Chain A
């Protein structure tokens, strides 16, 4: 009966009738109430009365005169923040949508984009207000008692009452610090700059839709660490960390504050502001308040250095995705075979192409050796022993970091040397490397072991390196000093062209382990 009725209704009235799907994919609370009531044997009418009763019980207070008042503290600040996050995600999803229809809509439909961006600012302000109040509650609660329960943090719409700005209104400071400051007892007992290499996380341009795909860029960063004593014992009681600007000066508001907290000596309370001074509103307002265990002032530098999550919170920025501009149409019609693509780009500079980074340490021993053999052409008339003979095509020096043989050097540089003429023949029974030494077993000759440069030419014939995310190979084609020719090569199968000339799987092996195990923070 029902479908027919719907059909009639469509014909007769307004055309669009459907089951609502807007409620989301999971059943609403109401549906669960109905299901449970039915399971317990109640009729559908009784289930509706029960649903009414639950709503009253759940979220209302019954007044003396029988009227009912909504309990606004039914929601916690965390509930509100969860919803705000949803709204932020929605705005982000629209403004960064790569769907061309959405992009065009935002570009062409009046001030649609501006109005959604404005709403983004409203939501950001809402978030800052609710979050700061929530964290202040958490901060005060934790400072007061180890047993503070975060669930007691109820939402109160009054927090939006206009007045003082948030930073001034809600100060994240401890009584003992303020008292020491007032008494003139707050003394800096340590003040140092902590410099470190940091691998900055960026979205992987090859996977624009995947938040979990990232590429890492090296960055030299620094934090100013100030340890304060509030008493006379010369032991740190309070710590401030400041981001250091690229020009070497400190930001004026701390990124992290660590307090000695509460009734438990082993627990500290850390307040983190994830926004730097360039990120607009939010700088100066905390984003995280959390307990940390067992840090004392002697350990602070080491703890910070090792706390990758904390460093990521302080330094990680959200990179806004930009839609690439689509190129204007042009027409090119080219007949087959009319265009020759040169293998190499020849340098105009007389000294040729250079590797743009320093990769050799003082001793020039920060490399491992690899041998690349020429393809052995086996013919039918060859004797079995002959078929087993090898010929060295290149000796490769794969440079690693000065401190660890397991980390690649900046630029992942590899030098390729040709063997001297007497070792370049197809007469090698066995060839091995051990450290910086090579051992060759040549037909009819004594086995020779020596440092690699004994067997190779003086200068590398080719060098591979990565610069600005592009892998290059520079090559000496003319035998004169310098590498005059250059080409781009594949990043992962970096040795593809070398491999073509050889039978070795060397190319694939060369970068595999490195690329898979890049340490996201520090070295």
Chain B
């Protein structure tokens, strides 16, 4: 009963399906014919039921969406199944920086039209042989019937539509808001009347291009190519190439969540209207791509821990007085050698609070994005001067909200009152100005210059590489850790030299 109570909190409060999307995947419907067979060589007590469901793609067999689970232990175990597969694969891939090369020719592929745009979907490792499809993965070769492969194709196409829908929903108000803001800013009546006007001498670019104004529809989020392939990440997008890689493991996690979270994230990256080099390099593109994932179909632990969402956690603490780290401490029991239990009562208290701040972000972000796109050159310069790709977000939060983080001593937190009173004190005492000036000195000063010269150009090259190939920060960090570097600000000279040689080699091409 306890488990059920907790699961109902999870399902209703966190993972409720369909809120953002309007529908759930068809294969998860209850009427799907499911048979159970007993595995061989198992005692009766440990009988494990295995699904044989012809309507479920082979990579999802044995997994259950969270919305259908009744026990928190089950949820954790479901996700762990995918994590174990990933970890096994990861040991081959993340041990170096992309030192695992897989050649996959003769894949099955198809071109389909989704929302008026053709997309080539390539199913890596699926090869037709007679009336069978052979699927190769690190565990061996699996034989699928043509019907079973058809289920795979339908599943992926369904996910493409859902991920596009999610982005359309997330950005539906953006063009209109940008238009209003730009018209106000430039004092023009109708931006649409001049947006397509070509600028003489500049080879076909329009005022719309320069002002960063666009219209959005479903096809703008459909990439040119989607590859279902085992890759060293859940998903991956090469910006401007309109090419997305989607791992079956990413798909598995999305299935459990009941929402193509990974795929929607990659589709944000792949839309050149939303993110395009070099403009998307002027801020934290991962924060933006995480916006579409924000919500009830999100793993709560992802929300509490994923690095892409760190700016949300930082600002929700400053402005909403909600501390994600504190929540984690409250809901998790003591560490019993990496074995944890959840404190159910605490979870029941914390979840609604987490939902409240997540909803507040969902409400504010469209306005923030509109502001950022409207005045993009200004914000690029601001991010650059503050040396912080997320300061635009901090500033817009500071514009809209009062801080509520501070409660004096053990007094009750009275919202913003104490914060503003403290702020007045430091302002009146001249401390605020003192810190402001000193922080600028340090940001622009010798110390910073020194940091930049130690690793600067190579680091920038590495970052550029990571942006370009969409290598996540984790991979970079693993790479640096492998090189024995824990602190990027403080690299010993001898290490720096070795690292430079190594980076050069990586930049040269396929080097382990």
Contact = CB atoms under 8 A, between A and B. Distances in A.
A13 B242 contact: no
B508 interface: yes
B201 A281 contact: yes
A20 B194 CA distance: 40
A102 B277 CA distance: 14
Contact of B307 (A17, A24, A124): A17
A79 B381 contact: yes
A108 B12 CA distance: 46
Interface string B189-201: 0000010010111
Interface string B360-390: 0000000000010001011011101111111
A221 interface: no
Contacts of A130: 377
Interface of B is mostly: helix
Interface string A397-425: 00000000000000000000000000000
Size category of the B interface is 35 or more
Interface string B176-217: 000000000111100000100101111111010111000000
Nearest to A87: B278
B297 to A, nearest CB: 13
Interface of A is mostly: helix
Most buried by A among B83, B240, B399, B476: B240
Contacts of A26: 387, 443, 448, 451-452, 489
B55 to A, nearest CB: 27
B201 to A, nearest CB: 4
Given A5-B305, A12-B301, A161-B188, A119 B435 contact: no
A102 B426 CA distance: 51
Interface stretch (A52-60, A189-197, A234-242, A286-294): A52-60
A90 B284 contact: no
B112 interface: no
Given A94-B468, A116-B277, A15 B199 contact: no
Interface in A1-52: 1, 4-30, 32-33, 35-37, 40, 45-46, 48-52
B354 to A, nearest CB: 14
Interface residues of A, number: 95
Nearest to A44: B405
A15 B234 contact: yes
B209 A36 contact: no
A111 B240 CA distance: 8
A162 interface: yes
Contacts of B439: 29, 32-33, 36, 54
B509 A49 contact: no
Given A20-B310, A22-B284, A48 B318 contact: yes
A80 B378 contact: yes
Contacts of B478: 18
B114 interface: no
A68 interface: yes
Contacts of A18: 307, 472-474, 476-478
B459 interface: yes
Contact of A93 (B209, B464, B510): B464
Contacts of B318: 48-49, 51-52
Given A52-B423, A60-B398, A160-B210, A24 B282 contact: no
Interface in B285-306: 286, 299, 301-302, 304-306
A110 B223 CA distance: 10
Nearest to B449: A26
Contact of A83 (B377, B432, B509): B377
Nearest to A68: B399
A322 interface: no
B186 A49 contact: no
B447 to A, nearest CB: 8
A217 interface: no
A123 interface: yes
Interface stretch (B29-37, B121-129, B152-160, B332-340): B332-340
A86 B467 CA distance: 15
B187 A161 contact: yes
A361 to B, nearest CB: 48
A184 interface: no
- What are the 6 tightest A-B residue pairs by CB atom distance, in nearest-first order? A28-B388, A109-B241, A18-B474, A32-B439, A13-B301, A87-B278
Given A18-B478, A50-B426, A79-B381, 11 more contacts: A13-B79, A22-B473, A28-B391, A28-B443, A30-B386, A87-B282, A94-B468, A115-B276, A121-B205, A160-B210, A281-B202
Interface of B: 76, 79-80, 83, 86-87, 90, 185-188, 194, 197, 199-205, 207, 209-211, 224-225, 233-234, 238, 240-243, 253, 272, 276-279, 281-282, 284, 286, 299, 301-302, 304-307, 310, 317-319, 328, 332, 335, 338, 340, 371, 375, 377-378, 380-382, 384-391, 394-395, 398-399, 403, 405-407, 419, 422-423, 426-427, 431-433, 435-436, 438-440, 442-443, 448, 451-452, 454-456, 459-460, 463-464, 468-469, 472-474, 476-478, 480, 488-489, 507-510
Interface of A: 1, 4-30, 32-33, 35-37, 40, 45-46, 48-60, 68-70, 72, 74-75, 79-80, 82-84, 86-87, 90-91, 93-94, 99-102, 105, 109-112, 115-116, 118-119, 121-126, 130, 155, 157-158, 160-162, 165, 280-281
20 contacts: A12-B79, A13-B83, A17-B474, A21-B463, A25-B459, A26-B387, A27-B387, A28-B443, A32-B438, A45-B407, A50-B423, A55-B394, A75-B382, A84-B377, A99-B508, A109-B242, A116-B240, A155-B381, A157-B185, A160-B186
